[in-house]
Amino acid sequence: MTDCFRTRLRRGDTLVGPIVTINSPEVVEVLDEVGFDWLFLDGEHAPLSPGHLQRLMIAARRTPCVVRVPAHDEFWIKQALDGGAAGILAPLVNTAAQARAIVSRAKYPPVGARGVGTARALGYGYSIADYVGRANEETAVILQAEHRDAVANIEEIAATPGVDAIFVGPFDLSLSMGKPGQVADPDVVQAITHVRDAVQGRGLPLGIFGVAPESVSGWMGRGFTLIACGVDIMLLGGAARSMLAHLQSSHERGP
């Protein structure tokens, strides 16, 4: 039996996947065929409703999906997990109190306070006992450190019981530090390194996002194992631009 996503995450396996923003099951089916370790479904910045997210998860037949919820509230966490997500990624977690609340909303009693419904993850009501019996062990809770306040409080956040990984958002972090988009700035790099050291000290996995492979490969060599690289719509645009440039260049050179 294949290990679940949370087991692989906690073990420190290198897990690579793109961000999905397009509301298209066909796009997810294509990405599912590629062989990624996970898919990052962006419920925060993409126009994806809970129904959209569930249909995308249905299309990902073999690849675990982690949903970045747009808020920490019970509704979004419940909708993502009931829809079949292997885990949630909570954005802008700046305090241990926020971390504790997120864990509680993602876990069933006695660990947390998640409620039971006849949703997809529970076999539409036909496998409630089976799912509830294993969900706490199989559901990944990933918190995003993407603000200078998170950096300041990272030791307490990472020490929160039930947190499975910390995921760094370098672009928003740079913005909060007054250096928008300057993810290679020494101060931003130092902040990310501080997060890394604190999280590794707690024995938790680390994640990070980059638009291109070269933006994450260096961090992969420094202990980051949960890798989100590329965005579906940017991958499409990049391939199209490359093709057009190649054909235009060939035409200018002539036969």
Distance of CA 220 to the CA centre of its chain: 16
Encode 194-250 in three state secondary structure. HHHHHHHHCCCCEEEEECCHHHHHHHHCCCCCEEEEEEHHHHHHHHHHHHHHHHHHH
Nearest one of 199, 204, 177 to 188, comparing CA atoms: 177
Name the phi and psi angles at 118, rounded to 5: -90, 60
| Amino acid at position 94, single letter | N
Cβ(114)–Cβ(105) below 8 Å: yes
CA distance 121 to 131: 7
Q: How far is CA 45 from CA 92, 146, 212, in A?
A: 13, 14, 19
Other CB atoms within 10 Å distance of the CB of residue 11: 11
User: Hey, what are 27's tokens?
Assistant: 């796009």
Active site amino acids? 45
